[in-house]
Chain A
Amino acid sequence: MSRPSPARSGLVFAGPTVRALQADDFANPGMLWVERGQKLWSEPVGPSRRSCGSCHADALRGAAASLPAVDAATGRLVNLESRIQACQAQRQGIEPAAHESDALLALSAYVAYQSRGMPVRVEVDGPARPYFERGRASYHRRIGQLNLACSHCHDANWGRRLGPETISQGHGVGYPAYRLEWQALGSLHRRFRSCLSGVRAEMLPQGHPDYLALELYLAWRASSLPVETPAVRR
């Protein structure tokens, strides 16, 4: 099992404009979502009028760095977004925010921001193992009409150019991230869909179990890189 060495954030491969935007919180457009998330975090909602903050005093510092993880109660793999959705449904008694909705992006950006700078460290043994193996297999499987696997670009060819673009190691540590191409914040699963549509492969909906498993594999590959949310990318 190999991972890129030394591990390098996508930021290293980005151009000066992107780097400058990310370096300055006042210029980083992703901070708008973090601010919105902070408001949502402390808003009492649902029948019991409970806010996220009423249960989690420290805004879940460090949580984003150790997700995805297997939820002990259900035995299922959850990432930050699905964890937030589960709290909304079960603890707050409200309709969970939809994938890629502004509310879910804002909340996940706010929570991930509390882990900014903390090294990614996920559990891949024990109950997480089958999910990890599934993610690893899809990372290395050739797919789409163009017949490429994630590993072809992000393991074998990082640092090289695909047309105008420099291929990075494909780490997810900056997500949700603001992409200039999207003109918005977007989730890691949305980024997956970009790569998949690039190779003309079938896309799955955000939050799909295959994407969660892939996210776990990526987090393992990124071990020790710090969380960057909200990152800026092209």
Chain B
Amino acid sequence: MAGGRSLGLELGVAALAVGSGVTAQPLVAWQARGDAIPRPLVEAMPDAARGREIAFGRDGNCLLCHGAPDSGARPVGNLAPPLAGVGSRLDAGQLRLRVVDPSRVNPGSLMPRYHVTEGLSQVAEAWRGRPVLSAEQIEDVVAWLSTLR
């Protein structure tokens, strides 16, 4: 993975991943209720601006699949519904589950599970046992999604 490309996939794509090396923190336990995770994964105040950076940058790489408002001239993917307005359709707990483990909502989901380490196979050694996004990053991203009204 020279140059640190990933799902953007050294695909000659821009990478659903990496860049900065592995920064993800250990998994934080979470509990789903219905189609939501009602409680934040961490106590700290989330930061929506940082969440946007994570979503747009290489840690989250959400734009590989989703369009987003204010994505500017960035090339965005169209494998997934645009995120515009998602903050008025879904509350914070629902958004949290959809980022943490979308397979809980749709078992066939294309979307990666951003805060799980179980039930995956053939994970490259550098990523094994680590979630894609840390609990803090999840909360920042959820805060950003909530602003998309």
User: Nearest CB to that of B64 among chain A residues?
Assistant: A163
Nearest CB of B to A35, in Å: 25
Chain B contact residues, majority secondary structure: loop
* One of B13, B113, B122 near A163 (C-beta < 8 A): B13
User: Nearest CB to that of A199 among chain B residues?
Assistant: B7
Q: Give Cα A152 to B106, complex, Å.
A: 14
B123 touches A198 (CB 8 A): no
A35-85, CB < 8 A from B = none
A145 touches B79 (CB 8 A): no
B5 touches A197 (CB 8 A): yes
B26 at the interface (CB under 8 A from A): no
Number of interface residues of B (CB under 8 A): 37
A146 touches B17 (CB 8 A): yes
Q: Give Cα A22 to B126, complex, Å.
A: 37
Nearest CB of B to A112, in Å: 21
Nearest CB of B to A154, in Å: 12
Q: Among the listed stretches B27-35, B70-78, B84-92, which one makes contact with chain A, having 4 or more residues with CB under 8 Å of it?
A: B70-78
B12 at the interface (CB under 8 A from A): yes
B65 partner residues in chain A, CB cutoff 8 A: 162
A200 touches B124 (CB 8 A): yes
Nearest CB of A to B97, in Å: 16
* One of A161, A181, A193, A200 near B17 (C-beta < 8 A): A200
B132 partner residues in chain A, CB cutoff 8 A: 145-146
A193 partner residues in chain B, CB cutoff 8 A: 10
A178-211, CB < 8 A from B = 179-181, 193-195, 197-203
Residue from B17, B112, B124 having most chain A Cβ neighbours under 10 A = B124
User: Nearest CB to that of A152 among chain B residues?
Assistant: B110
Residue from B14, B75, B110 having most chain A Cβ neighbours under 10 A = B110
Nearest 5 pairs of A and B residues by beta carbon? A198-B9, A164-B75, A143-B122, A163-B64, A145-B127
Give B residues with C-beta under 8 Å from A: 1, 5-17, 61, 63-65, 75-79, 103, 110, 112-113, 120-127, 130, 132
